[in-house]
Amino acid sequence: MIAYQKVSFYTLGCKLNFAETSTIARQFIDAGYAKVDLEQGPDVVIINTCSVTDQADKKCRNIVRRALKINPLSFIVVIGCYAQLKPDEIAAIPGVDLVLGANEKFNALQYLEEKKLESGKSIASEIKKTKEFVPSFSSGDRTRTFLKVQDGCNYFCAFCTIPLARGRSRSGSIETTLQQAQLAIDEGAKEIVLTGVNIGDFGQSSDESLFDLIVQLDKLSGVERFRISSIEPNLLNDDIIRFTASSNKFVPHFHIPLQSGSDTILQKMRRRYRTDLYKNRIEQIKKLQPDACIGIDVIVGFPGESDNEFETTFMFLQEIDFSYLHVFTYSERDNTTALRIEEVVPMDVRHQRNKRLRILSEKKKREFYQSQLNSIRPVLFEADVTEGMMSGFTDNYVKVEVPYDAELVNKVVDVQLTEINSDGLMNATICAKLPV
């Protein structure tokens, strides 16, 4: 009989990590563990880490210290992308008992039960050995579920360590993905967000495709919405754009990484498209769905990004019809080809460029919200309450706030968007008493 009874999970990073944490948590619960909050002093703490930001080490250390302050006897396990990239570095953090890499993290329960527990032990296979796809979906939020449909990446962009942390691109079959989606629906999810590292690459080792998958997902009953989390512009083809425009379940919201509006920088980044294709994708979406919300990822300060190259990006963004930006300041990563580029952008310049794009993002977001005023949109309301108010998102990703009403939780309701409030959210009035 294992000595550990209570387990807590802490997730850093992307929605894919949240989906995988939930899957690992279900393994522990099925084995008889009680899942508790970190503040309850669990016997085991599993920290799922991220490598995208430059503060992965700091965040991991902070969570370890916090857990041990609450319960000095907690057994600390660190998994995830950072664990794969820097296993020995993490194992050296005071208080860390076990580090599991990409190929081992889904066997965390097995390592505990078999008592392979020497303090500071690091178990991370070479990433090229990580070939299995483990289906996952997030739990704990009836309203929205993140469904993992793909993992890994074959692109090896110059700035990115994800292929080194997660391995080659892989996915399950449409059949197994539909089974996972149905499990999420059975748990009460009204919206399913498709997530992965490079979801447009779904089925690349088979005769299936992302388009084939979304056609089948669209047929599932018991779920109100599907949302595509992020998709590379070169993989967002006309078939996907046309189908989602005609679907009653796939919402008018796309998140499409750009990274730079300069073709010169895109080439240095080793991206697989140029700005003409990107612009065409945006125009195609807006032609079929004028009210679609479009989010964009941009990196500022990549090596070689001169003032002129940044201005080219800025002007390109001003020209296209998008709704918000996620702006990332470039930071150096070990074992990436960007380190070979000599024209390093000073850090203060990187921060200045980040600030300019964040201001542009706020301007574009407000313009998008203003374009939606007085329209009637379906909103999926969430359970969280803040000062007597509840919130939810429209199908096209406008965040709406209304007075709390318990009957609206996890319901899709038509509302009229009335005004943008002082918090930048949309006030609305309910169009019908009974939720849809």
Structural domains of the chain sorted by starting position, each given as residue range(s) with its CATH number in brackets: 6-129 (3.40.50.2300), 131-251 (3.30.750.210), 256-269+283-370 (3.30.750.200), 376-430 (2.40.50)
Beta-bridged to residue 39, according to DSSP, are none
In this predicted structure, what is the pLDDT of residue 1? 42
Read off φ and ψ for residue 358, nearest 5 degrees: -65, -35
Residue 75, token pair as written in the block: 């057994």
Model pLDDT for residues 14-40, shown as the tens digit of each residue? 889 999 999 999 999 999 999 999 999
- Average confidence (pLDDT) over 125-135: 80
- Average confidence (pLDDT) over 358-384: 96
Residues 356, 298: Cα–Cα separation, whole Å: 12
In this predicted structure, what is the pLDDT of residue 53? 62
- Average confidence (pLDDT) over 58-77: 90
Residues 436, 434: Cα–Cα separation, whole Å: 7
- Average confidence (pLDDT) over 88-102: 88
Residues 108, 89: Cα–Cα separation, whole Å: 19
* Element counts in the chain: helices (H) and strands (E): 13, 18
If pLDDT is split at 50, 70 and 90, which confidence band does 59 have?
A: confident
User: Does the pLDDT value for residue 435 go beyond 60?
Assistant: no
Query: Could you write out the DSSP letters of every residue in 75-111?
Result: EEEEEEHHHHHSHHHHHTSTTEEEEE-TTTGGGHHHH
In this predicted structure, what is the pLDDT of residue 267? 98
